[in-house]
Amino acid sequence: MLNDLTVVVLAAGGGTRMRSKTPKMLHALGGRSLLGHVLAAVAETSPRSVVAVVGHQRELVGPHVSGLMPDCLLAVQEEQKGTGHALRVGVEAAKISSGTVLVALGDTPLLTGRSLRDFVAEHEAAQRAVSLLSGDVADPTGYGRVVRDEDGEVLAIIEHKDASPEQLELTEINSGIMAFEAGFLLDALPGLGNDNAQGEYYLTDLVGLAREAGLMVGAHLLDDVVQTEGVNDRTQLASLGRLLNDRVVERWMREGVTVVDPATTWIDVGVELERDVTILPGTQLLGTTSVGEDSVVGPDSTLRDCRVGRGATLTRVHGQSAEIGDGATVGPYSYLRPGTRLGADGKIGGFVETKNAVIGDGAKVPHLSYIGDAEIGEGTNIGAGTITANYDGVAKHRTVVGRHARTGSNNTFVAPTTIGDGASTGGGTVVRGDVPPGALAVSSGPMRVIDGWAEEKRAGTAQGEAAAAARRTPDDHDVTDPSSQPPARDLG
């Protein structure tokens, strides 16, 4: 059920201290933009409408908002004249007439929906004209101070640059998140002035206007004040990123996930984990990755937007947009590119790269291979050092290997090609055409030994001298006499 609540999200600031071509609101934290975190929290209040006030680089911020929350209205603050002016722009766009107006800041990524719901509920229950979300902090530098009278009632909010020395000693700060009764707000906004050190229209001056009108003003003191911390530069981004990650990791541990080393484990907010998953040190689970029960990931693994089944083991794996089936084994040092799908009980082994490849149940690509634009049937074993030559310089082509096939080491499959069910290929084979089911394909001829080649072609080098010395001093390991070698096997 929607509440009689309008939320105005202020997201017009320039964020110059980020020193970035990317708008501050779009910098990422835990796999989601700063603004995305705020919009997600706002959505949990079930508002009637949401307005995002954009300004700086609105050509980037606006579409980002619409992509995350299609029903969100966009209001443009052409000139950044302060938070009070931004709110007025948002209120005009929303055509508010009644209810509660909640003002949120687009750069407070730790704020939770629950905190916003509690704040709005207290504001409405107390029938206040103005409520502010405040916190008590050890270092209030840069924040507006909450000034109270002897009875503890809120008198005003004084911005840091406008505060007296006595007011600077106050430690209760205004988070900038506020709630208003719509009728009061509509009457008061035109009366805001900009007679201050910044020459801006302050949202916080509405507190004084409400007091002058004899209306109720209150503050909701948030125990977990870190939720209201904003991001102004890269150091704050990193600091809040660590705090957010600590909370995400702790949440999963309390839900039955083993995280061996929380300090070196990063889990994005969009990740889903089942119980009895084990995360080893140095692992990053990013984007929309999901991991099934009893799977082990790590150490030193990065998965982005991957889906891992139950009972799988991934060791030193880098994967993106890949699917790993139940009981599968991957790694070490495997690179799973988008479109990789490994079936149940399958294996992608050490130093294997896959891309747009479907590898069936129980199939194995154990060693040193590139499998791209390919389909490998169930139970098939791909020999070490196999390459799918999928690109002809113009277009990509597909390789298909059937069920229960066995391919030799150091093979090259020149796509497009199909190797049938139960077929085999010899070591070193270059497959340039289709191989029928059950057939053996071999492209290499008998081995040739050219006696004395190193002495003739590499004379004067260490190789040539070693060969000459070996001829002069035969020993049990001498292989210079071709007549002593077993006859070559012609596998053709």
Active-site residue list: 367
Side-chain half-sphere CA neighbours of 255 within 13 A: 12
Task: Measure the CA–CA gap between 94 and 134, rounded to whole angstroms.
Answer: 26
Structure tokens at 342: 């490994």
- Residue pair 266/285 in contact (Cβ under 8 Å)? The answer is yes
Structure tokens at 459: 């004379």
Side-chain half-sphere CA neighbours of 282 within 13 A: 9
- According to DSSP, the residues that pair with 32 across neighbouring strands are 29
Task: Measure the CA–CA gap between 86 and 284, rounded to whole angstroms.
Answer: 38
In a 3-state reduction of DSSP, which class is residue 230? coil
Task: Measure the CA–CA gap between 359 and 336, rounded to whole angstroms.
Answer: 12
The DSSP secondary-structure symbol of 216 reads -
For residue 160, report the phi and psi dihedrals to the nearest 5 degrees: -55, -45
In sequence order, what are the residues at sequence separation of 6 or more whose Cβ sits closer than 8 angstroms to the Cβ of residue 166? none
Task: Measure the CA–CA gap between 475 and 492, rounded to whole angstroms.
Answer: 34
Q: In 3D, which of 164, 118, 120 has the Cα closest to residue 145? A: 164
In sequence order, what are the residues at sequence separation of 6 or more whose Cβ sits closer than 8 angstroms to the Cβ of residue 288? 270, 271, 272, 305
Task: Measure the CA–CA gap between 134 and 228, rounded to whole angstroms.
Answer: 8
Interior/surface letters 420-432, b for 16+ CB within 10 angstroms, e for the rest: bbbbbbbebbebe
Residue 309 burial by Cβ neighbours in a 10 Å radius (0-12, 13-18, 19+): buried
- Residue pair 56/23 in contact (Cβ under 8 Å)? The answer is yes
**How distant is the alpha carbon of residue 170 from its chain centre?**
39
